Amino acid sequence: EVTKDRNGVQQVLLRNSRGASVTVSLHGGQVLSWKNDRGEELLFTSTKATFKPPHAVRGGIPICFPQFGNGGSLEQHGFARNKIWVIDDNPPPLHPNDSNGKSYIDLLLKPSEDDLKIWPHCFEFRLRVSLTADGNLTMISRIRNVNCKPFSFSIAYHTYFLLSDISEVRVEGLETLDYLDNLCQKQRFTEQGDALTFESEVDRVYLNSKDVIAVFDHERKRTFVLRKEGLPDVVVWNPWEKKSKSMLDFGDEEYKRMLCVDGAAIEKPITLKPGEEWTGRLELSVVPSS
């Protein structure tokens, strides 16, 4: 079902037979909402988010491409989340089990003449957003080098999970991994051996993680599970009190009910030779937890 937001930008609503739903905006190819079959919102969106292109809405799942972070000539987290994508009517066939029993939408981003001036690489970025019969949200990115000189990119699904209380959140799956700490000039540290808990600002890229990460929301007795392929790194970010106050599109207290845990490929950018294609998959599910 295609609707329009207050700026006239198309949004696509996916529903499954149990009443779960996903809303994707053509602005940035950004998932703005993922609701379970009881209509409960599972992703965080700031009450102060501005729906004003070209800036990405603060929340949901912005796509960071072709770079994560700042540096070089590109804006922070690259341009993909600030561009208008199009609905791809004739996507090349995906692996059969990526289509059956699901409602999905195929989006496409290709560089404009202006984009090529900033980032001179002819790519095609195909994004399939699906809602499975079980209410899981899957995002499959296929990025192709359309017969130009080789190029490299980083990518992250910048996922804002909605949580009851950050002080009661635990993340499992990152124990003992090395991470780059954005709060200490991206220096490399090693995580200790037990689950992550949160008492202050965290801004890290965990490296070479396993493909399953769990985010426990103690109060709501539910766990978000991330399953990823082709995305070796995991960004973990909570701005905490001080940084929250410095962000105009983020409420002062909102850090208490969100956490970004992103499937990503950052430390080792992906290089595509002419005609090559890269695929990255992320599946989000929610399971009850004691």
235 forms part of the interface with ligand TA6 (CB under 6 A)? yes
The terminus-to-terminus CA distance of the chain in angstroms comes to 36
Place of tokens 């950004």: 30
CA 164 to chain centre: 20
The residue with its CB nearest to ligand TA6 is 237
Q: How far apart are CA 38 and CA 135, in angstroms?
A: 11
The minimum distance between CB 249 and ligand TA6, in angstroms, equals: 8
Show binding-site residues for substrate.
58, 76, 81
Binder of ligand TA6 out of 3, 47, 50, 76 (CB under 6 A): 76
Query: Measured from the CB atom, is 14 or 31 closer to ligand TA6?
Result: 31
Place of tokens 């200490």: 184
Listed in sequence order, the DSSP H helices in 119-264 are 240-246
Query: Measured from the CB atom, is 171 or 235 closer to ligand TA6?
Result: 235
Query: Measured from the CB atom, is 81 or 102 closer to ligand TA6?
Result: 81
Query: Measured from the CB atom, is 178 or 277 closer to ligand TA6?
Result: 178
How does DSSP classify residue 91?
A: P
Binder of ligand TA6 out of 104, 157, 237, 255 (CB under 6 A): 237
Q: How far apart are CA 25 and CA 86, in angstroms?
A: 10
80 forms part of the interface with ligand TA6 (CB under 6 A)? no
Contact, 108 vs 85, CB < 8 A? Answer: yes
The minimum distance between CB 122 and ligand TA6, in angstroms, equals: 26
Place of tokens 């992906």: 270
Integer Rg of the chain from CA: 18
Residues 45-74 close enough to bind ligand TA6 by CB under 6 A:
69
Give the total of residues touching ligand TA6 (CB under 6 A).
8
Neighbours of 253 (CB within 10 A): 10
Q: How far apart are CA 208 and CA 267, in angstroms?
A: 9
Q: How far apart are CA 35 and CA 46, in angstroms?
A: 16
Query: Measured from the CB atom, is 26 or 234 closer to ligand TA6?
Result: 234
The minimum distance between CB 243 and ligand TA6, in angstroms, equals: 8
The minimum distance between CB 264 and ligand TA6, in angstroms, equals: 9
Q: How far apart are CA 127 and CA 29, in angstroms?
A: 8
182 forms part of the interface with ligand TA6 (CB under 6 A)? yes
Query: Measured from the CB atom, is 203 or 217 closer to ligand TA6?
Result: 203
Contact, 146 vs 173, CB < 8 A? Answer: no
Residues 193-212 close enough to bind ligand TA6 by CB under 6 A:
203
Binder of ligand TA6 out of 31, 49, 131, 260 (CB under 6 A): 260
The site for ligand TA6 (CB under 6 A) is made up of 69, 76-77, 182, 203, 235, 237, 260
